[in-house]
């Protein structure tokens, strides 16, 4: 009996620590292999907001467990390391979970800067009285945009306390009816602000342009006046239904189509001019528009012929057609995958890079599955040279390819509306791995 007790004591004293030491060593080696593979293949640039892990890291591992995107951060030699930079989409859960504040969320990197408007902690831009929230300020996630919209409305309400309103001017005009704009409108209504919300498309903003059935949210989100939307997975159509339900309950009415052209005046008496000559007056302005602005074009002959589009709304209409999708990001992959499900649609994806590295892992895996099933082709290191009525001419590595074509979809990102912002008195800043001050 005493021998059994000694054996158990030895196992607990030395065996358990040895087991954990072996397991952590194996996980560390696996993480190193993933990091080295990503470095060698060029997958090292996060798309936007991402964590930088400082010397204070104690290797406790809380950040490795909370990321909704999976094993983006892993431990290597008992320190947290961002091993999957291209999978990071800026949730920020890692920074919030760190017990020693070793993680800072930053924009851009030394290799790839990100141009963003200068915004203070109260969401006010460099132009007094004009505020910015959501994707335009660098927060691309719908969940974060909802949070920022609510916080921006609270900051605006605080800035108006004790100030007498002038006749005819709204307390607040919100430009953009996506998640940040809707959240701000709901919060403004709760706070008793007189507001108006406008959008060039309608309620939903940029979400309206997403492909059908696109998975847009994977985490619960708090909505002003509505409590928490607890669904773990929400697709485009479901999200738009929730938008309309929230807007109806909150009395939010979107004025659309209404495209902002310029802002004149100063805080307390702004005049907002639309592209078709309409004018709104406001004491404060919140810009909750997207960062993409105008879609980035290829600049090749035939692009303006009428058979090139920059968003895919209804994939079903391309049955029995030959379609080329250009791009290597999530939007391009999702469009190509959606088209590959259409009966008789022949789909080819063209991307200028050596490999698809900017898209999320789930989309890359789905693309590989569709390729293996013969539902679509992928041409890497290819570039469109010309678009004709019946063909597309592509430049490959050392040759030229002509393929029959009925439609071209281009997903090459968008031009950040920097010129529009600067013309309206809002300063821009290039971030190369810095946090917002």
Mean pLDDT calculated for residue range 107-136: 89
Tokens 């004293």, residue?
13
Q: What are phi and psi of 284, to 5 degrees?
A: -140, 155
Helix (H, G, I), strand (E, B) or coil at 357: coil
Residue 143 has pLDDT above 90, yes or no: no
Domains of the chain: 2-106 (3.30.70.20), 115-293+416-431 (3.50.50.60), 296-413 (3.50.50.60)
Mean pLDDT calculated for residue range 80-92: 84
pLDDT of residue 260: 93
Number of H helices, E strands in the chain: 10, 27
- CB of 397 within 8 A of CB of 299? no
Residue 173 has pLDDT above 90, yes or no: yes
- CB of 119 within 8 A of CB of 436? yes
Higher pLDDT, 437 or 225: 225
Share of the chain above pLDDT 70, in %: 93
* Structure letter (DSSP) for residue 1: -
Residue 255 has pLDDT above 90, yes or no: yes
Mean pLDDT calculated for residue range 87-115: 85
Mean pLDDT calculated for residue range 377-402: 94
Q: How far apart are CA 395 and CA 379, in angstroms?
A: 10
Reported as a single tens digit per residue, the pLDDT across 274-296 is 989 999 999 999 999 877 666 78
Confidence of residue 437 (pLDDT cuts 50, 70, 90): low
pLDDT of residue 11: 62
pLDDT of residue 24: 80
Residue 1 has pLDDT above 70, yes or no: no
Residue 37 has pLDDT above 80, yes or no: yes
- CB of 297 within 8 A of CB of 412? yes
Residue 137 has pLDDT above 80, yes or no: yes
pLDDT of residue 234: 82
Residue 409 has pLDDT above 90, yes or no: yes
Confidence of residue 427 (pLDDT cuts 50, 70, 90): very high
Structure tokens at 93: 């859960």
pLDDT of residue 14: 63
Helix (H, G, I), strand (E, B) or coil at 127: coil
- What's the whole-number average pLDDT of the chain? 87
Among 308, 287, 303, CA closest to 407: 308
- Tally of CB atoms within 10 A around 262: 12
pLDDT of residue 89: 75
Residue 373 has pLDDT above 90, yes or no: yes
Among 398, 426, 189, 386, CA closest to 289: 426
Specify the pTM: 0.76
What is the bridge-based pairing of β-strands 234-235 and 215-217?
A: antiparallel
- CB of 288 within 8 A of CB of 174? yes
Share of the chain above pLDDT 90, in %: 48
pLDDT of residue 12: 64
Reported as a single tens digit per residue, the pLDDT across 396-408 is 988 999 999 999 9
Reported as a single tens digit per residue, the pLDDT across 177-218 is 999 999 999 999 999 999 999 998 899 888 887 766 677 776
Residue 76 has pLDDT above 80, yes or no: yes
Among 102, 136, 99, CA closest to 117: 136
């Amino acid at each position: 009996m005493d021998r059994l007790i000694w054996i158990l004591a030895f196992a607990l004293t030395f065996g358990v620590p040895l087991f954990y030491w072996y397991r952590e060593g194996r996980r560390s080696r696996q993480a190193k292999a993933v990091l080295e593979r990503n470095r060698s293949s060029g997958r090292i640039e996060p798309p936007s907001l991402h964590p930088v892990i400082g010397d204070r890291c104690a290797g406790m591992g809380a950040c490795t467990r909370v990321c909704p995107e999976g094993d983006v951060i892993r431990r290597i030699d008992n320190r947290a390391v961002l091993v999957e930079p291209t999978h990071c989409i800026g949730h920020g859960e890692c920074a919030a979970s760190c017990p020693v504040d070793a993680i800072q969320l930053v924009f851009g990197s030394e290799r790839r800067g990100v141009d963003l408007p200068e915004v203070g902690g109260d969401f006010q831009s460099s132009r007094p009285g004009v505020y910015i929230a959501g994707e335009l300020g660098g927060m691309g996630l719908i969940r974060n945009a909802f949070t920022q919209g609510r916080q921006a409305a609270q900051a605006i309400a605080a800035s108006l306390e004790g100030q007498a309103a002038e006749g005819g001017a709204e307390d607040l005009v919100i430009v953009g009816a996506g998640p940040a704009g809707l959240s701000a409108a709901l919060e403004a209504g709760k706070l008793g602000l007189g507001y108006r919300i406008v959008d060039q498309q309608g309620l939903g903003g940029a979400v309206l342009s997403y492909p059908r059935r696109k998975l847009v949210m994977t985490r619960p989100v708090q909505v002003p006046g509505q409590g928490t939307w607890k669904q773990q997975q929400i697709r485009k159509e479901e999200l738009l239904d929730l938008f309309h339900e929230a807007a109806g309950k909150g009395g939010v009415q979107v004025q659309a189509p209404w495209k902002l052209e310029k802002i004149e005046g100063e805080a307390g008496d702004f005049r907002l001019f639309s592209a078709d000559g309409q004018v709104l007056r406001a004491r404060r302005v919140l810009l909750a528009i997207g960062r993409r602005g105008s879609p980035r074009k290829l600049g090749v002959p035939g692009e303006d012929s009428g058979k090139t589009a920059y968003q895919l709304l209804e994939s079903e209409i391309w049955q029995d057609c030959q379609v080329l999708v250009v791009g290597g990001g999530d939007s391009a992959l999702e469009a190509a995958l959606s088209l590959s499900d259409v009966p008789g649609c022949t789909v080819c994806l063209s991307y200028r890079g050596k490999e698809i590295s900017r898209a999320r892992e789930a989309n890359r895996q789905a693309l590989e599955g569709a390729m293996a099933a013969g539902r679509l082709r992928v041409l890497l290191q290819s570039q469109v040279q010309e678009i004709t009525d019946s063909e597309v001419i592509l430049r490959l590595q050392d040759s030229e390819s002509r393929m029959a074509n009925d439609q071209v979809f281009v997903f090459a990102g968008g031009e950040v509306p920097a010129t529009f912002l600067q013309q309206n008195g809002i300063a821009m800043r290039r971030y190369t791995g810095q946090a917002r001050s």
